[in-house]
């Protein structure tokens, strides 16, 4: 919710700023770029993925356990862009990409976890990410234009191990292969001499439980977790 409020005020600020007379007129680069019905591009970027845990009802009260710690590391994004113009303010975008990242889970002390290796699970993820987004832009201000973007996406996790018969007892943490997300973000289009450059920041939030539980119903790694959701921060640099 805080992320959405920040988006609203940033977009409002840019919209008001564009109407002030002290914004001096400059020669416009690519003056007809936004009149194209369809155009393409590509993006590269970084990601910072996290997990949201929903624990069983007795996790804190009966077991008296601390939260599972998450050690994050920055990953990378690369992909293509297809942009369909709807009108002067709205565009429909399809941005298929490859997202790679790594997270480490550090479990608290509990029965069944007898060594440091038992308490640590490294999760490497490689996603084929397929977002369908609506881009809402403000008025163009000389050679830049702020925007907000939001939509839904699905992903195919190539590293999920969902169908693997081994589980955490063999040091294999399993996640579901397919997932569904919603995304919201903001950015600025910069119109350069030969192309449009757009840095953006986007939040991504899973809508489906991604955890595959261990074969042992009393497993110390998964029995106390009801749901596991991915969430992340994406920083993309697009070239169109």
- Confidence (pLDDT) at 22: 44
Dist. CA 13–CA 102, nearest whole Å:
36
Domain with residue 206: its CATH number is: 2.40.160.20
Question: Which residue has tokens 């809508």?
Answer: 207
Mean pLDDT, residues 16-28 taken together: 55
If one counts the domains in the chain, the total is 1
Whole-number average pLDDT of the chain:
89
Show the DSSP H helices in 62-157 as ranges.
116-119
Measured between alpha carbons, how far is residue 39 from residues 43, 93, 132, 190 in Å?
Answer: 14, 10, 15, 16
Structural domain span for residue 216: 2-239
Other beta carbons within 10 angstroms of residue 23's beta carbon come to: 11
- Confidence (pLDDT) at 36: 94
For 104-116, the pLDDT digits (tens) are 999 998 888 888 8
Dist. CA 160–CA 153, nearest whole Å:
17
**What would the two tokens of residue 178 be?**
């397919």
For 122-179, the pLDDT digits (tens) are 999 999 999 999 999 999 989 999 999 999 999 999 999 999 999 999 999 999 999 9
For 60-69, the pLDDT digits (tens) are 877 788 899 9
């Amino acid at each position: 919710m805080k992320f959405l409020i920040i988006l609203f005020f940033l977009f409002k600020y840019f919209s008001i700023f564009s109407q002030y007379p002290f914004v001096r007129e400059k020669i416009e680069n690519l003056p007809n770029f936004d009149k194209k019905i369809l155009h393409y591009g590509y993006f590269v970027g970084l990601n910072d993925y996290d997990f949201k845990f929903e624990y069983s009802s007795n996790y804190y009260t009966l077991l008296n356990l601390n939260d599972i710690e998450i050690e994050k590391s920055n990953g990378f994004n690369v992909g293509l862009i297809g942009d369909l113009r709807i009108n002067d303010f709205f565009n429909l975008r399809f941005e298929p990409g490859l997202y790679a990242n790594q997270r480490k889970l550090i479990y608290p002390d509990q029965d069944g976890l007898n060594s440091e290796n038992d308490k640590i699970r490294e999760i490497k993820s490689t996603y084929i990410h397929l977002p369908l987004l609506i881009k809402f832009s403000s008025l163009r201000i000389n050679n830049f234009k702020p925007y907000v973007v939001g939509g839904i996406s699905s992903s195919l996790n190539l590293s999920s191990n969902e169908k693997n018969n081994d589980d955490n007892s063999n040091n294999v943490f399993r996640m579901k292969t397919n997932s569904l997300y919603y995304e919201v973000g903001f950015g600025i289009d910069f119109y350069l001499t030969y192309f449009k450059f757009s840095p953006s920041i986007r939040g991504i939030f899973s809508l489906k439980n991604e955890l595959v539980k261990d074969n042992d119903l009393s497993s110390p790694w998964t029995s106390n977790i009801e749901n596991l959701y991915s969430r992340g921060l994406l920083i993309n640099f697009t070239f169109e």
